[in-house]
Amino acid sequence: MASETTTPTVLASARPARPALRYAGLLWAIGIALLLPLFTAESYRLFQLTLAAIYAIAILGLNLVTGYNGQISLGHGAFYAVGAYVAAIMMDKFGLPYWSTLPSAAVVCGLVGYGIGFPALRLGGLYLALTTFSLAVAVPQILKYKGIEEWTGGVQGVLVFKPDAPFGLPLSNDQYLYLLTVAIALGVFLLARNLMASRIGRAIMAIRDHGLAAEAMGMDAARLKTSTFAVSAGITGLAGALSAIAVEFVSPDSFQVALSITLFVGMVVGGVASIIGPAFGGLFVVFVPNLAEEVSKAAPGVIYGIILIAFLFVLPGGVAGLLRRLAARLHR
């Protein structure tokens, strides 16, 4: 009896020891890579990395709905904008603390996403693409609307200020913001990973793969799609709020249609339907345009386009696809 109960546990703990070690090593490496810029990067570089982490969160939101659920959104920039304005207005007009704006922006954007997704998702893929696109076109103009100028600051926008590090931590504003953003990003990525590994995640993918079969498996496709869209909008809205705090300024011109396309590009480059992909997507959309500018001041757009195409040629599955291939090779 005793041997029967102990043998399996010994086996269970002995066998995965090596992969677990490798896993721990990987976590350490990631941790160091994330903390290193705190000590080495100058403040502008740190700001760029903060922005990349913020974009990574926004792209993760988009990836849930477009990558995993197969619903094309060309307007996630609108949720980013709404999140940013929610944060800016709460801080500037109501004097509320910066941290309280983050969950608020997520909830507001989640509700807006639910309201838009509810009718649009019932019409199917291309209609959603157009509905979201029109949202991305409309939002910057709505933000300039005279009637709400008192809140939004019209074309002027709203100025906000970076928070100081709490508890007297010996960190500059930029260092603190970087740390805060990375911590939030890690949290959001972890939650998203849990979600996608659950029954809900399976349902989200099943609906993308075969809608009718998903319904035959008892999945309420219409409801799940709407909820996924709402969650996705909420995550992107949270990123928007962080961006308002990091950039210390919101204005309608920061959230043009191009922003939505940028998020879409980041998603594809990082890896469609991947959790880790958006992290690389965020780095790409922040640093590659700068790189293009350095290569050619005259035509950075051309260089950016060439880099983008070259990237997709070399990494058809995005960065996440490359990582998957590498992991498969290591496991063999």
Task: Note the residues at the interface with another protein (CB under 8 A).
Answer: 191-192, 194-195, 198-203, 205-206, 208-210, 212-221, 227, 231, 273
Based on CB atoms, which residue is closest to another protein, 71 or 175?
71
Q: Looking at beta carbons only, is 273 or 285 nearer to another protein?
A: 273
Conformational region of residue 157, where left means phi above 0, alpha means psi within -120 to 50, and beta covers everything else: left
CB closer to another protein, 236 vs 262: 236
The helix, strand and coil proportions of the chain, stated in percent and rounded to the nearest 5, come to 85, 0, 15
Give the whole-angstrom CA distance, residue 122 versus residue 144. Answer: 31
User: Closest distance between another protein and the C-beta of residue 84, in Å?
Assistant: 24
49-75 burial: b if 16+ Cβ within 10 Å, else e: bbbbbbbbbbbbbbbbbbbbbbbbbbb
CB 88 within 8 A of CB 244: yes
**In the bound complex, what is the minimum distance in angstroms from residue 206's beta carbon to another protein?**
5
- Report the residue number, 289 or 321, with the smaller CB distance to another protein: 321
If the CB atoms of residues 144 and 202 are measured against another protein, the closer one turns out to be: 202
Among the listed residues 256, 254, 288, 243, the one whose alpha carbon sits nearest the alpha carbon of residue 269: 288
Q: Which of 190, 174, 179 is nearest to 27 (CA)?
A: 190
Nearer of residues 204 and 263 to another protein, judged by Cβ = 204
* Shortest Å distance, C-beta 199 to another protein: 4
Contact 83, 237 (CB under 8 A): yes
Work out how close the CB of 324 gets to another protein at its nearest, in angstroms, rounded to a whole number.
12
Q: How far is the CB of 67 from another protein (least distance, A)?
A: 11
DSSP assignment of 160-223, as one string?
--PPPPGGG-S--HHHHHHHHHHHHHHHHHHHHHHHHTSHHHHHHHHHHH-HHHHHHTT--HHH
Q: Torsion over CA of 223, 229, 235 and 239, rounded to 10 degrees?
A: -160
Closer residue to another protein (CB): 1 or 328: 328
269: amino acid identity, one letter = V
C-beta of 273: minimal distance to another protein in Å? 8
Shortest approach of another protein to residue 216 CB, angstroms?
5
